[in-house]
Structure 1
């Protein structure tokens, strides 16, 4: 396993209570960094406090990224604890139900977009000024191969993740004059709680589209995400990195 140098750096990982987010947080900790893990699941946060609370390197915060006031409070608490924000991993999202567009519940569509896209905007809006002030930052936004290709039966999630790609490209260009990079990754389905909550037939369909013939491993996702979050990634910005196991066509 490659090691990544995060010594002296502080990161925010949204949706970090489990799955890819937690795996990324653990790799950052292993590299000498400190992490503010944001989640809205109180039970997951309690488990994190029990596991990491004594060493002072992990802050577990109940933050709802869909609520701008909650995000702004989370930023203040993170700065109060660690004094800086060097890395931002925008991982939090929800998938919503599986249904065709004309049958999709409008309220569910709005909720998926609000959390996954508007929420990602909220966090960037609140964190970026602090990175600009220090002329340093690494932002990695989690999109999905669904944002590139669109998954039938998942119009809200696909639209949300396509929006995250466009937001990444816009913000990357806006911040290019600073030592701040903004990139996105597009994972295929991984064995996370969120992914496995979907309809089994839907999961079978999207798995059949992956030439590798299997789900993405959490450690594989974390390896790419963490490299993008290091100082070494000093030139690439506004880019999209594929994690689709050969599925993506561009």
Structure 2
């Protein structure tokens, strides 16, 4: 007697496996969307994963953080080390896309908020957690950028500028840490099918899909697969890079 295997089970059985047993990871913005997919992927291969989120749920190892409030990051770092004693992997995924408006119509307060969350927030996360990562003989940091930071998406000037800054920050930090065991890279996805798209107009999302040679949005699990490789023992000589995840849309 044979039993049919669901399509999703077949897909998962063909994915590469990594050994994250004994490793401690932290994922900002890990309660939903891409962050949740990353948490589940790293956990599946054995990592102990902490979720750092502005709105944590009631699952284990959840810490409330706001990347615009450094004191919350300091408390989270202290708690994580007190309970897990180490940090091997950090995926900084928390972000805010903001409204889709022409630059001249963008409210100055909203512009500053988008820069504060996405760019200054990345600085604050790195400032608090890189000292923990470099204590390990080998560790990994992934900052979530965006294809918007490479292309400059119309009607998303604040988000585009912030994510371009994230890529430059990542390159700079990677060079500073090159002589250590820490590898620092960024991931630049195109539009991914998450709740973040609800912050954008329907027309803007339709335009992004239209730019994709594959004619679709990316999936959170596809992001998680790329991240899993980026924080694995297979990723050692790569540092200071920004990897695309665009369905063929990226041109450089």
Query: Which segments of 5 or more consecutive residues in structure 1 lack a partner in the other structure?
Result: 54-58
Instruction: Quote the offset at 1:66 in angstroms.
Output: 1.2
Verify: 1:63 aligned to 2:77, yes or no. Answer: no
Distance 1:27 1:3 in 2: 10
Say if 2:189 and 2:223, in contact at 8 Å, map to a contact too: yes
Distance 2:200 2:39 in 1: 25
Partner of residue 32, structure 1: 46
Larger Cα-atom Rg = 2
- SS of 1:165 mapped into structure 2: helix
- SS of 2:22 mapped into structure 1: coil
Distance 1:123 1:81 in 2: 19
Verify: 1:190 aligned to 2:187, yes or no. Answer: no
Cα RMSD of the aligned pairs, angstroms, is: 1.0
Query: Which segments of 5 or more consecutive residues in structure 2 lack a partner in the other structure?
Result: 1-14
Verify: 1:89 aligned to 2:96, yes or no. Answer: no
Distance 1:172 1:133 in 2: 15
Partner of residue 111, structure 1: 113
Say if 2:26 and 2:52, in contact at 8 Å, map to a contact too: yes
Instruction: Quote the offset at 1:196 in angstroms.
Output: 2.9
- SS of 1:71 mapped into structure 2: helix
Moved over 3 A (4+): none
**1:2 equivalent among 9, 16, 30:** 16
Partner of residue 205, structure 1: 207
Instruction: Quote the offset at 1:245 in angstroms.
Output: 1.1
Verify: 1:144 aligned to 2:143, yes or no. Answer: no
Instruction: Quote the offset at 1:139 in angstroms.
Output: 0.3
- SS of 2:236 mapped into structure 1: coil
- SS of 1:133 mapped into structure 2: coil
**1:48-105 CA distance string (max 9 Å, x none):** x2xxx3xxxxx11110011111111111111112111100001000011110001001
Instruction: Give me the TM-score of the superposition, normalised by structure 1.
Output: 0.93
Q: How many aligned residue pairs are there?
A: 238
**2:55 equivalent among 29, 41, 56:** 41
Partner of residue 241, structure 1: 243
Verify: 1:216 aligned to 2:221, yes or no. Answer: no
Instruction: Quote the offset at 1:205 in angstroms.
Output: 1.0
Greater shift in the superposed pair: 217-226 or 130-139 = 130-139
**1:227 equivalent among 226, 229, 232:** 229
